[in-house]
Amino acid sequence: MIGVISFIILIVIASIIIFNSLKKDNKKDVKEDLVLEDKKLQKKEEKEELYKVDIKGQVINPGIYELKTSSRVIDVINMAGGLTEEADTSVINLSKKITDEMVIIIYSYAEVEDFSKTKEIEKQVQEKCTKNEIYSIQNDACISISSNEINGLININTATKEELMNLQGIGESKAKDIIKYREENEQFNSIEDIKKVPGIGDNLFASIKENITT
């Protein structure tokens, strides 16, 4: 009987030793896998291209910063310590993706107000931002606007009802007719094609042709 009990005890002890040994080996494998994965991530980060961006104006620490290619203007601002109390970002696209050698200028309220005094509507304020009449370099962070918006022309292929109603002689009814026509037919290939819309004849076309584009 004693021999049987001793045999059982030996089996239990052997089982415990084997279990602990396997447990240690498993921990070692997991640790090695984690180290290997960490090394792979480090290599990936080392290979990832970085962009250099120059930020000026109303930020705490203006200067040149290196950021990941997926970064945006707001990330550069944060890296530069954030905005000053005088910063006005109303003409800046904070979500714009950065590019290498990009220049970002954050204007003050006074500078933007000066833009507004010269050009009263926001689109023209944005144009001044792009042309950058204060600094001698282009501001790549400005909100993009098309040449048609700069010229004040209304694109009859994309204009909203409200935008179309800004045209002389175009009320809500005719604006809806223009939108209905382009939804049910092809887009206007030339400004003359707007005369295909019922109710828009030569006289009305003559009064709006200088203010529209396609």
Q: What is the pTM of this model?
A: 0.42
Predicted local confidence at residue 147, as pLDDT: 46
Low-confidence ranges of the chain (pLDDT < 70): 1-48, 115-128, 130-138, 143-152
d(CA 76, CA 105): 11
Residue 199: strand, helix, or coil: coil
Would you state the pLDDT for residue 91?
79
pLDDT at residue 53, rounded to an integer? 93
Q: Is 160 a member of any domain?
A: yes
Task: Give a yes or no: residue 40 inside a domain.
Answer: no
- Predicted pLDDT at 67: 93
> What pLDDT is attached to residue 87?
92
According to the model, what pLDDT value does residue 184 have?
84
Cα distance between residue 119 and residue 113, in whole Å? 10
If asked whether residues 111 and 198 sit together in one domain, one would say: no
pLDDT at residue 60, rounded to an integer: 96
DSSP output for 55-118: EEESBSS-EEEEEETT-BHHHHHHHTT-B-TTB--TTB-TTPBP-TTEEEEEPBHHHHHHHHHH
Do residue 146 and residue 161 come from a single domain? Answer: no
In angstroms, the CA 32 to CA 111 distance is 58
Sign of the CA dihedral running 109, 111, 115, 116? positive
The Cα 91–Cα 121 span in angstroms is: 12
Exposed (0-12), middle (13-18) or buried (19+): which is 124, by Cβ within 10 Å? middle
Distance CA 131, CA 205 (A): 33
Q: How far apart are CA 101 and CA 66, in angstroms?
A: 10
Residue 50 and residue 99: Cα distance in Å, rounded? 10
- 176: domain CATH number is 1.10.150.320
In single-letter form, the type of residue at position 142 comes to C
User: The domain containing residue 69 runs over which residues?
Assistant: 50-150
Let me know whether 121 and 176 are in one domain.
no
